[in-house]
Amino acid sequence: MNDQMGTQRPIKVVRIITRLNIGGPARQALLLTRELNEEFSSVLLSGTAEATEGELTDSEVPVRRVPLVRNVSPIQDVRAAWAIRSFVRSVQPAILHTHMAKAGAIGRFIGNTNMPRPLLVHTFHGHVLNSYFGAAAERSFIEVERWLARRTDLLIAVSDAVRDELLELRVGSPDQYRVIPLGLDLDGLMRGQQPGKLRGMFHLGPDTALVGYIGRLVPIKDLPTLFAAIKQLKDCHLAVIGDGEERMRLERLSSELGISHRVHFTGWLSDMGSALADIDVVALASRNEGTPVALIEAAAAGRPVVATDVGGVRSVVLDGRSGYLVPRDDPGAIANSLERLLADADLRRSMGEVGRYEVAPQFSAERLVNDIRSLYHELLGD
């Protein structure tokens, strides 16, 4: 669109995310809003993260707050819908791009009722249709996602596995999907940092075996299975980096298992580079995942991984080359893979190099920005 002087105006994009809690969706929403703003005049709408989740910010990205909350809350959801509806009507964006389930549901509903209707894009960073809720709730959410998909112009999945799982649930059709992996600023991690800071917090020497978990402390991450694996490994310590609703329960569980002296809770850390420099192996025991940022960062830092083979994990971990994939709910399999890596420094080093030079480059910020830019132009018919 041109103004009277003949200059081209940026295309308006409204991006909506449920909350900017620490993790891949928030990092992607902030990155895209910042890097595409010159060409696609962008506004980011977000709810507020809970205190234990941590919240990401970017000094270059103003965030307009709306009353989005994670859980189903009729009063809050109506308030959020009204706020989003008013804003979308005032801005009249060409593209409405949503991230995360609640923002995706309310945002796409509002987009479909707005006149003129914007092009609707939704990114599935994973999904909450398996292992998050009871069977009845899952069935209801699947029906809602099917209804929304039929009214969405384009669906983005962050991995082939996430797309295939959604298609198996009959959410959308194959021609609606684009697979666009996460993109992160990994330069600092790729360069590496001086070790010693994390181990110093817990008075651990350089020869002490140290496994790291990085992420939210919530049921879907299945920390109890990881704790059971650590219990099987003599003299192995575990750094639990993150926070969440399960922290107190997990602290009690580590005591009940007799491993509290070997399990160290750090809360959220701002300097992941120095933390990863001290960790021998990164572990993940999740029951479901999209594309785990922690495993991408582990690869960039040259750290091997032991993770459950769920969701999009396989898109990050090259089984037998950059780490090991194991079945979910199997502490013995996790323990065996960790033991093998912890006993062999050369194996850890070689797997770390595969992660750094083969895996991490696939998840660059530049690649993500270019992919989304091309997709927007495709939707607009440019």
CA dihedral 306, 309, 315, 317 (to 10 degrees): 20
- Nearest of 153, 68, 166 to residue 112 by alpha carbon: 153
Strands 305-308 and 323-326: parallel
pLDDT in tens, 332-376: 999 999 999 999 999 999 999 999 999 999 999 999 999 999 999
Check residue 131 and give its pLDDT: 52
Pick the range with the lowest mean pLDDT from 138-142, 196-200, 228-232: 138-142
Distance CA 250, CA 232 (A): 17
Q: Is the pLDDT of residue 24 over 70?
A: yes
Task: For residue 320, count CB atoms less than 10 angstroms from its CB and return exposed for 0-12, middle for 13-18, buried for 19 or more.
Answer: exposed
User: Contact, 289 vs 130, CB < 8 A?
Assistant: no
- What is the model's pLDDT at position 52? 82
Model confidence, pTM: 0.86
How far apart are the C-alpha atoms of 38 and 18, rounded to whole Å?
24
* 234-261 confidence digits (pLDDT tens): 999 999 999 999 999 999 999 999 999 9
pLDDT of residue 111: 97
**In terms of DSSP H, where are the helices of 115-186?**
135-149, 160-168
pLDDT exceeds 80 at position 132: no
Q: How far apart are CA 314 and CA 318, in angstroms?
A: 7
pLDDT at residue number 5: 45
Mean confidence (pLDDT) of the chain: 93
pLDDT tens figures, 264-301: 999 999 899 999 999 999 999 999 988 899 999 999 99
Tokens of 147: 């209804």
The predicted model gives 201-219 an average pLDDT of 96
Q: So what's the pLDDT on residue 8? A: 61
Contact 254, 284 (CB under 8 A): no
Confidence of residue 130 (pLDDT cuts 50, 70, 90): low
The two tokens of residue 358 are 């083969």
The one-character DSSP state at 10 is P
11-183+364-380 and 187-363, same CATH topology: yes
Q: Which residues contact 156 (CB under 8 A, 6 or more apart)?
A: 121, 122, 123, 124, 177, 178, 179, 180, 375
Instruction: State which CATH number among 3.40.50.2000, 3.40.30.10, 3.40.710.10, 3.40.50.720 fits the domain covering 187-363.
Output: 3.40.50.2000
Q: What does the domain layout of the chain look like in residue ranges? A: 11-183+364-380, 187-363
Interatomic CA distance for residues 142 and 101, integer angstroms: 11
Extract the tokens encoding 250.
């997990």
The pLDDT assigned to 110 comes to: 97
Note the pLDDT tens digit of each residue in 47-97. Answer: 998 888 889 999 999 999 999 998 888 999 999 999 999 999 999 999 999
Q: What's the pLDDT at 6?
A: 46
21's tokens: 């809690």
In the predicted structure, residue 2 carries a pLDDT above the cut 60: no
Q: What is the CATH number of domain 11-183+364-380?
A: 3.40.50.2000
